Amino acid sequence: MRSANVVAEQPGARGGWARATILLSFGLIANLATEMTFAATLHEIAAAWALDASQSGWIGGIYSNGSACPISGTGAWIIAS
């Protein structure tokens, strides 16, 4: 006997959710690829530009925060001030 609490599921609903999850995950990875690439190549960039550890840290932090500001909504607040 089926329980009265079971919600009727639309045919193909699980496939739609799985597809949406896969597409959103792929979009997130593609969006963050530039940040991952910059972090991986920061050592070579520092050597080419003759940066010390402190300068490399600053440029890495600026890059990370610069990419996070538009996502968090603080970008508009920074531009407005």
pLDDT at 74 over 90: no
**Contact call for residues 60 and 39 (beta carbons, < 8 A):** yes
Domain ranges of the chain: 13-80
Find tokens 């538009």 and name the residue.
70
What pTM does this model have? 0.49
The string of pLDDT tens digits covering residues 6-49 is 555 555 556 678 888 888 888 888 877 777 788 889 889 999 99
The whole-number average pLDDT for the span 52-75 is 78
